[in-house]
Structure 1
Amino acid sequence: MNIKQILAAVLCSAAFAGAAQANDLEPVIAGKHRTEAYVARDKYRHPAETLAFFGIAPHMTVVEISPGGGWYTEILAPYLKDKGTFYAAHFPQDSDVGYYQRSLAAFKEKLAADKDNYGKVILTEFDPASAKEIAPSGSADAVLTFRNVHNWMRNDNDQKAFNQFFAALKPGGILGVVEHRAKPGTSRERMIESGYVTQAYVIDLAEKAGFVLEASSEVNANPKDTADHPKGVWTLPPSLRLGDKDKDKYLAIGESDRMTLRFRKPKM
């Protein structure tokens, strides 16, 4: 990174930090529209602090990648509906994967059932193996992905995904990444198997796509998580893949240790 890129990143960081501090996410997070089971996970996922760290403001154009059941959509969509634009880049409509189809159908039902909060959501498709746009090229202020990187690694689509994020963002735009964190030196094969990814690996993906790492946060860190469980990250809540076996032990650990990284697309 040259001196111009460094200065640009510092200036952009200051501007975004000021905007984030002025925004109040708490009324949306406390909203009665949120799913009760999702609210129970706030203590692990720290949505207000995470979105503030990413610099999300209500006037922005934001893309959420693979929103799944809509945990973050329940916060982002109503937060952005009046002044901003929100794209939910979900699974492809024409996918032959049954899980993808069921997840997408349930998400559409969720949007249709609450027009007040989700009526302005723009539903797009995210498929790193294709050329489909998650949002118009160069249009987004921020692209956000939560606990997804390990999934793209299985089919060698991880670098393609980061390249798509870069294309969707405006110059100066933000990429926010939250991901389960593996111990340094963990092999790629083990990352895929366990669902935990090293922070260095994620940074490398982003930098190869053209991003500059601007800041990291420990807001989603969990020192109780050793990242070496029998069923990988899915051993822990909310999955609890082992069922009742050692359930209290894994509930006491809580959700996974996670990196929280903010990248910038350079302006020049």
Structure 2
Amino acid sequence: MIALRTGLTCLLLALGSFALGSLDARAEQSPAQDDRLKEVIAGDHRSADNAARDAYRHPYETLSFFGIKPDMTVVEIYPGRGWYTEILAPYLKEAGTLYAAEPPADPSYEALQRSLDAFDQKLKDAPELYGQVKRTKVTEDGDIAPAESADLVVTFRNTHSFMRAGTEEASFAAMFKALKPGGVLGLVQHRGDPDVEQDPKAGKGYVNQDYVIALAKNAGFELVETSEINANPNDTKDYAKGVWTLPPSFRLGDEDREKYAAIGESDRMTLKFVKPAP
């Protein structure tokens, strides 16, 4: 009996040592990745205006929720003026790959053209940061990245733009096509009032969460998890100028500016989808 207890004790100690060793190994990996992301977010290459918006956009928490790692192939949809590109490009520069999938140019849409021009200039001004970014276009018949090459596709506050252009189905299909089986779609979007019927063109910039989930599921995605990282309960979502009434756009100019500044940026859903493995 004593011999049996002694043997059992040794076995438990061995298993405990193995488990602790496994935990130690994971602990050695995760902080390195987390520290790298924190380092990039805190980097002095970021503009002061962009860094000031971290309080609303929570880049560290959001990208961590999506499961980003520095050796991934990542596709950023509609990078705009490069707010997230400022983080993603240097983070992925050494071991990963970043595709910036831009909307097609439209000279009649001045705001879009200004955004495209600003992004182009941003990349040209800092080749040491952005020289490895692979630029593609989101089109109905093109690929945003080679098929099944991406570990992660991220899209930040773009679903209303897809809907405005009538390309929501094609856009979600393109994101699905680019991802490897098991790959993740990370999505942030201005969240609409579920008691208000969804405008199919999302004219005020808000989209109901159930509507977005349905778009993704129709493309083949499975919803993995939701997060309130980017929620804002102060957003009443009933403004004449839509989401652009709030900062940073302040579409009404000085009218009630302090009121809207106190509300802050929009209430946003943060969703994590996966492309199912066959």
The reply to whether TM is greater than 0.5 is yes
Asked if 1 retains the 8 angstrom alpha-carbon contact of 2:188 and 2:271, the reply is yes
> Please, which of 102, 107, 123 is the counterpart of residue 111 of structure 1?
123
Q: How far did residue 191 of structure 1 move? A: 6.6
DSSP-derived class of the 1:262 partner: strand
Structure label with greater radius of gyration: 2
- Across the aligned residues of Structure 1 and Structure 2, the Cα RMSD in angstroms comes to 1.9
Structure 1 unaligned segments of length 5 or more: list them. 1-16
In structure 2, distance between residues paired with 1:245 and 1:216: 35
Inter-CA distance 37–165: structure 2 relative to 1 (3 Å threshold): same
Aligned to 1:152: 162
| 1:87 paired to 2:99 | yes
TM-superposition CA deviations, 1:34-59 (whole Å, max 9, x none)? 01111110000000000000000000
Aligned to 2:189: 179
Aligned to 2:48: 36
Aligned to 1:235: 245
**Greater length-normalized contact order (CA 8 Å, ≥ 6 residues apart):** 1
In structure 2, distance between residues paired with 1:36 and 1:133: 34
The one-letter amino acid paired with 1:48 is: Y
Q: How far did residue 102 of structure 1 move? A: 3.1
Asked if 2 retains the 8 angstrom alpha-carbon contact of 1:179 and 1:197, the reply is yes
DSSP-derived class of the 1:263 partner: strand
The one-letter amino acid paired with 1:27 is: E
DSSP-derived class of the 1:189 partner: coil
> Please, which of 105, 120, 135 is the counterpart of residue 132 of structure 2?
120
Aligned to 1:14: none
DSSP-derived class of the 2:217 partner: helix
Q: How far did residue 159 of structure 1 move? A: 1.5
> Please, which of 247, 250, 259 is the counterpart of residue 257 of structure 2?
247
Inter-CA distance 177–101: structure 2 relative to 1 (3 Å threshold): same
Q: Paired residues, what number?
A: 250
The one-letter amino acid paired with 1:217 is: S
Asked if 2 retains the 8 angstrom alpha-carbon contact of 1:182 and 1:191, the reply is no
In structure 2, distance between residues paired with 1:94 and 1:133: 19
| 1:196 paired to 2:206 | yes
Aligned to 1:3: none
The one-letter amino acid paired with 2:65 is: F
| 1:71 paired to 2:83 | yes
TM-superposition CA deviations, 1:147-181 (whole Å, max 9, x none)? 01011112321111111100010000000000000
In structure 2, distance between residues paired with 1:46 and 1:143: 18
Asked if 2 retains the 8 angstrom alpha-carbon contact of 1:153 and 1:192, the reply is yes
Aligned to 2:57: 45
Inter-CA distance 65–206: structure 2 relative to 1 (3 Å threshold): same
DSSP-derived class of the 1:56 partner: coil
DSSP-derived class of the 2:120 partner: helix
Aligned to 1:132: 142
Q: How far did residue 112 of structure 1 move? A: 1.2
Q: How far did residue 93 of structure 1 move? A: 4.9
Q: How far did residue 20 of structure 1 move? A: 6.5
Structure 2 unaligned segments of length 5 or more: list them. 1-25
Bigger drift between 90-99 and 203-212 goes to 90-99
Asked if 2 retains the 8 angstrom alpha-carbon contact of 1:223 and 1:257, the reply is yes
| 1:62 paired to 2:103 | no
Give the % identical residues.
Answer: 57
The one-letter amino acid paired with 1:194 is: K
In structure 2, distance between residues paired with 1:176 and 1:267: 17
In structure 1, distance between residues paired with 2:112 and 2:206: 22
DSSP-derived class of the 1:188 partner: coil
Asked if 2 retains the 8 angstrom alpha-carbon contact of 1:140 and 1:169, the reply is yes
In structure 2, distance between residues paired with 1:257 and 1:182: 8
In structure 2, distance between residues paired with 1:114 and 1:208: 39
In structure 2, distance between residues paired with 1:74 and 1:95: 26
The one-letter amino acid paired with 2:138 is: F
Q: How far did residue 96 of structure 1 move? A: 5.5
Asked if 1 retains the 8 angstrom alpha-carbon contact of 2:163 and 2:200, the reply is no
The one-letter amino acid paired with 2:231 is: A
